[in-house]
A and B are shown apart, each in its own frame.
Chain A
């Protein structure tokens, strides 16, 4: 199958890759570029494990084609922590024990980032609806919601 050349930016770095036209961004990230922090739980847009930001918007990378990344900025879980350490969202997930197996965690952290970029002080219901696209089978969400609340508080304090 002939491949298409794509130029994009991933976590601030210019990246070029070749992909088949039907390959998803998720498959390209994981299989072609070995950025395996972004996870596949379903490949049908139903679990959120593959959440990334595309030009700052939260998307399921399994529903985006690799070729659609052309000229865009992709932010994945690998781009959330800064040079000076973990992002407060990551830190609060750890402190609140908001992960058990951890497979949903990258997607949830990226989705939380998108939420808190937009809503500085979300109430519990807003958090629950924002994260409704990110399945977690282990935690029952309780500690995740609390971690997001803590992160919101910390980020508001920092700002």
Chain B
């Protein structure tokens, strides 16, 4: 891929094609579909964090007027073990038990029964009429407690995976992972300075504003249609089929518009319940979570306990590092400790390191993917340690990172050699940014941190239809969560050589387009974009063939230039170029409609790096942090639509700052989340934040036709440490745990005095 390319459409900022519907209230989201004769489904949730279910009796609920269905764990088939696929699944059997508890409840809010009734108030009354008998057990509420030898067990059949030998007794440690290279002891001996830290971060939620919702209807032949907000309707279809023992072809999933997901809408919660309730009642069933349900029973991301130790020479060269990373999985295995372990040292050249990570069961909601799953917590640990190291070495923190930064050809700590990457370019751009040297107000502090995420490829399909007037319809299978239709239209317009306005993109349902994995892993613009480009190239090949036939020349004597077929240089044909519109208009005479398609399993997702600069001040009286400025620098490979790239960077910064400064799950001693609402789980509001300055670095990904890397996840990796390092700079006090909430900071400042 050449670097300086003259693109006509790529890199411009047109209005998104789905925009008007979204600013007028027309766009339909998960909870917006009402069908005739529809019932409302609701879920009864466990009041205990850990208990055996002795019995569930729904008969009284079912006997009520207006109640047409009531189900509990006994109504579901037992799902076999197996990988659920996609991004945030885990084991099928676990997802089944998470969707509806069987013999045990494993967190406060765990689903134990569900009803469908003619109104929401009748459904609520029906839930109150369900009898559940519990044998209450002691909950295990934090990761250290859960790893202790004598901890109560969540699952008696949980034997730690990935050990050389199967352990002789069960534990709450579902799996471990190790990565190592070189000789850590020798590395530390060679160090002039060693820093160590111990870091705790509580669970945090994705916090999408749209609660999970769906409407399902199934007919007498067992053919179901499910409308829902999802990051991946194909994967929702396959999970629902597995959980209900249904034939995949009998399930049609339609992805509604989606009101945020950030990884949290990659697994099913309500959909299998709605199908089952519809089956029992014979009527359409709509289910909507409350915000409280969302907090108690979906998401969150892992709480973590991380320990990091780093050694360096006087000149800043890193000599050795170790990381011990314990991730809470919640009630079922599947914490993102793998990516955490793989990311923690990924940005740095290290001869000697040892990384150990743990996937630990606790009586809290089963974690789901959250933007760069596992990376922000691990990055927080290493990036804070590096900040401490820079202080001890009296070195600029960006210089310290530049000294050790990975680049093309470096063997990554997680295995492969890096292809072309843009980490050094990001560090240099941050260093040169005026915000890095801008004077700070009295008492304020500045922090720097770096972030890394792999990005993924996976499977995508796309079709391109050329209308009879030459306008273009792109059909693909990835829910548009943040402007991806616009990116698809841009890439199609660029490839075909037509105007952006002549292209429309639509997200097909599971029956109208080919399989695509989730909108997640920062893969949509990269992988689905690649499928769209290939489908457009298919169209171009067909157009060339039709032009060749029209002109009576060979296909290889025709080229595609600026949206039209022209004779190749040197071909002596006295013909007028044929535009896409010309070819479309005569398509009925040259072989029928033009339909291009592509499907692929995209390889070569480009790793993306970011560097953040955070300015803030801390009120010494209250401990409250005011963020004064935030600068996000990130390698996008190529920004297809720069507004939406900046949007990802700004949104990630905001989420990361919320996580750093305020957001946390607070549990009482019984495992009841005490802040299950937006009032007490406080995500950043407009008055909490300054403008967020973005600098997009473009080091093209050699594996993508336009150089795209994927940008959705990297933005949340660095802000936690950037904010923590700024607090250190402002106050002179190092606080290792997050969030840096007023009480914690006040405590730290007071005890330092």
Contacts and interface: CB of A to CB of B under 8 A. Distances in A.
B482 A138 contact: yes
Contacts of A43: 290-291
A104 B209 contact: yes
Interface string A134-148: 111111111111000
A30 interface: yes
B651 A100 contact: yes
B291 A135 contact: no
Contact of B15 (A81, A94, A131): A94
Nearest to A85: B20
Contact of B24 (A47, A86, A143): A86
Interface string A84-120: 0010001001111101111111100100000000000
Greatest chain A CB density within 10 A among B288, B650, B653, B689 is at B650
A94 B16 contact: yes
Contact of B209 (A49, A80, A129): A49
Interface stretch (B137-145, B361-369, B679-687): B679-687
Given A36-B32, A78-B25, 13 more contacts: A43-B291, A44-B679, A90-B20, A93-B23, A94-B23, A97-B647, A100-B651, A105-B23, A127-B686, A134-B685, A138-B482, A139-B647, A140-B653
Given A95-B15, A140-B654, A141-B654, A103 B683 contact: no
B685 A109 contact: no
B655 A141 contact: no
B714 to A, nearest CB: 15
A109 B210 contact: no
Interface of A: 1, 20, 22-23, 27, 30-31, 34-44, 46-47, 49, 76-78, 80-81, 86, 90, 93-97, 99-106, 109, 125, 127-129, 131-145
Interface residues of B, number: 62
B551 interface: no
Interface in B93-136: 119-121
B25 A36 contact: yes
28 contacts: A1-B121, A30-B32, A42-B291, A44-B291, A44-B678, A44-B679, A77-B24, A78-B25, A86-B23, A90-B24, A95-B15, A97-B16, A97-B647, A101-B209, A101-B259, A101-B481, A102-B22, A105-B22, A105-B23, A106-B23, A132-B686, A137-B207, A141-B650, A141-B686, A142-B650, A143-B643, A143-B647, A145-B691
Nearest to A138: B651
A47 B209 contact: yes
Contacts of A135: 209, 678, 683, 685
A81 B482 CA distance: 23
B209 A103 contact: yes
Question: B-side binding surface: helix, strand, loop or mixed?
Answer: loop
Given A36-B25, A40-B211, A145-B691, A138 B647 contact: yes
A37 B25 contact: yes
A139 B644 CA distance: 9
B649 to A, nearest CB: 8
B417 to A, nearest CB: 34
A140 B259 CA distance: 15
Question: A-side binding surface: helix, strand, loop or mixed?
Answer: loop
A90 to B, nearest CB: 4
Contact of B650 (A81, A127, A143): A143
Contact of A106 (B25, B260, B678): B25
Given A46-B678, A140-B653, A101 B208 contact: yes
Nearest to B678: A46
Nearest to A91: B23
Interface in B26-70: 26-29, 31-32, 34
| Leading 3 A-B pairs by shortest Cβ distance | A37-B25, A103-B259, A140-B650
B692 interface: yes
Contact of B483 (A34, A81, A97): A97
Contacts of A76: 25
A102 B28 CA distance: 10
B677 interface: yes
Contacts of B689: 128, 140-142
A119 to B, nearest CB: 15
B19 interface: yes
Given A36-B32, A41-B291, A103-B209, A86 B20 contact: yes
Contact of A142 (B288, B678, B691): B691
B677 A46 contact: yes
A49 B25 CA distance: 11
A99 B121 contact: no
Nearest to A44: B677
B322 to A, nearest CB: 34
A47 B644 contact: no
B220 to A, nearest CB: 27
Interface in B177-214: 206-211
Nearest to B286: A31
Nearest to A45: B679
Contacts of A136: 209, 686
